[in-house]
C-alpha cells in the first residue's frame, strides 16, 4: 500500500489513468502483489469474488428471482414501472461494494477503468447493446457535485460509451437537493426524489440506457426514467454495477 499512499499524498489521483504508472503495485483491497503488466487495481482473487447476478432475474426490475419459470417479481407483477428493464452486474457486496465506495468516497477515479469493463461485459453477455442508441447517467445536484468533485456515474457512463461505441448524452438534470437515500425507507425514497429530475429529448434518438452505480429500491431509476419518457424517449433502460436485492436488504422497502 506504500506506493498507493505516496501517490495519493502527491495528489496524483487524477493521473492514475493517464501516465502509465497508474496502478499501484499491490491490490487496493488485500495488499497482495500485483503484476504491473496487468494494470489492475485489485488482484485477480479479489476480483473473482464479485458475485455476478445470474438468471433468473425479474425481466422488468432485474431483482434475482428465487423461483425459476416466472418472468416478473411479485412487485413488478402488480405495479408498472417507467423503465423497460433494469439490470445490475452483481450484488452490492464484498469486493464490489468496497471498490464502489473507494471510487465514490476515496476519490479513486482510476477504478472506473476496473469497473466499466464489468458493465461492458454484462451488455455483451446479455446481448443488450443493440437495444439502445445512447447512454446517459444519473446526475447529482450541483451542490453534491461540487462537494465530491465528480460524478462516478458520469465517469462510468463515459467509459462504457467508449467501450460499446455509443454516444454519451447529458440528458438528465437534478434540479433540487434531496436527502440521502441511504437513510430513508422505500416509500420515503420515492417521495424524496419526486420531481427531482428533469430530462431533455433528442431530435432523432429514442432509446437510451441510464447508467448508475447502485440500484437499491429503484426509486432513482424510476424517477429518471419517468423524466426521460415524459420528454419523448420511447425506450429507457437502466444498468447499474451493483444491486442490493430489496427482499434481502430492506424488509420494509418496496
Ligand atoms: Zn486482492
Ligand atoms: Zn421486478
Closest Cα to residue 164, out of 138, 132, 137?
132
**Which residues is 93 bridged to in the sheet?**
none
User: Which ligand sits closest to the CA of 247?
Assistant: 2
Domains of the chain and CATH, by start: 1-48 (no CATH), 52-249 (3.40.50)
**In the block, residue with C-alpha cell 501516465:** 19
For residue 209, the CA-to-ligand 2 centroid distance in Å is 18
Q: Which ligand is nearest to the CA of 87?
A: 2
pLDDT (tens digit, 9 = 90+) per residue, 58-96? 999 999 998 888 999 999 999 999 999 999 999 999 999
Percentage of the residues of the chain whose pLDDT score is greater than 90: 63
173-196 confidence digits (pLDDT tens): 999 888 877 778 778 877 888 889
How many Å apart are CA 60 and CA 83, to the nearest integer? Answer: 8
Ligand 2 centre to CA of 219 (Å) is 13
DSSP 8-class letter at 63: P
Q: Label residue 238 by pLDDT band (50, 70, 90).
A: very high
CA–centroid distance, residue 112 to ligand 2 (Å): 28
What's the 77 CA to ligand 2 centre distance in angstroms? 7
Least distant ligand from the CA of 49 = 1
CA 235, CA 229: separation in Å to the nearest integer? 8
Q: What average pLDDT does the segment 7-21 reach?
A: 44
> DSSP state, 52?
B
State the ligand closest to the CA atom of 38. 1
Cα of 241 from ligand 2 centre, angstroms:
17
* Ion ligand 2: residues, CB < 5 A: 58, 60-61, 73, 76
Asked which of 3-7, 93-97, 205-209 is least confident by mean pLDDT, the reply is 3-7
Which range, 101-115, 141-155, 234-248, has the best average confidence (pLDDT)? 141-155
CB within 8 Å of 195: residues ≥ 6 apart: 175, 176
> What is the number of the ligand closest to the CA of 48?
1
Amino acid at each position: 500500500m506504500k506506493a498507493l499512499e505516496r501517490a495519493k499524498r502527491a495528489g496524483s489521483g487524477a493521473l492514475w489513468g493517464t501516465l502509465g504508472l497508474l496502478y499501484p503495485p499491490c491490490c487496493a483491497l488485500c495488499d497482495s502483489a500485483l503484476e504491473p503488466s496487468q494494470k489492475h487495481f485489485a488482484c485477480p482473487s479479489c476480483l473473482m469474488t464479485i458475485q455476478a447476478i445470474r438468471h433468473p432475474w425479474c425481466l422488468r426490475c432485474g431483482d434475482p428471482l428465487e423461483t425459476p419459470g416466472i418472468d416478473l417479481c411479485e412487485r413488478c407483477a402488480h405495479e408498472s414501472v417507467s423503465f423497460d428493464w433494469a439490470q445490475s452486474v452483481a450484488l452490492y457486496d464484498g469486493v464490489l461494494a468496497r471498490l464502489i465506495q473507494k471510487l465514490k468516497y476515496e476519490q479513486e477515479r482510476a477504478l472506473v477503468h476496473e469497473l466499466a469493463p464489468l458493465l461492458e461485459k454484462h451488455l455483451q453477455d446479455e446481448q443488450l447493446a443493440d437495444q439502445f442508441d445512447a447512454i446517459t447517467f444519473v446526475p447529482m445536484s450541483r451542490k453534491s457535485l461540487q462537494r465530491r468533485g465528480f460524478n462516478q456515474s458520469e465517469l462510468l457512463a463515459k467509459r462504457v460509451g467508449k467501450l460499446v461505441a455509443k454516444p454519451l448524452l447529458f440528458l438528465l438534470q437534478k434540479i433540487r437537493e434531496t436527502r440521502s437515500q441511504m437513510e430513508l425507507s422505500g416509500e420515503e425514497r420515492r417521495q424524496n426524489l419526486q420531481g427531482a429530475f428533469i430530462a431533455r429529448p433528442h431530435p432523432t434518438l429514442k432509446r437510451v440506457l441510464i447508467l448508475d452505480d447502485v440500484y437499491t429500491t429503484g426509486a432513482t431509476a424510476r424517477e429518471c426514467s419517468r423524466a426521460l419518457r415524459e420528454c419523448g424517449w420511447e425506450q429507457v433502460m437502466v444498468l447499474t454495477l451493483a444491486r442490493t436485492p430489496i427482499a434481502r436488504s430492506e424488509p420494509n422497502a418496496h
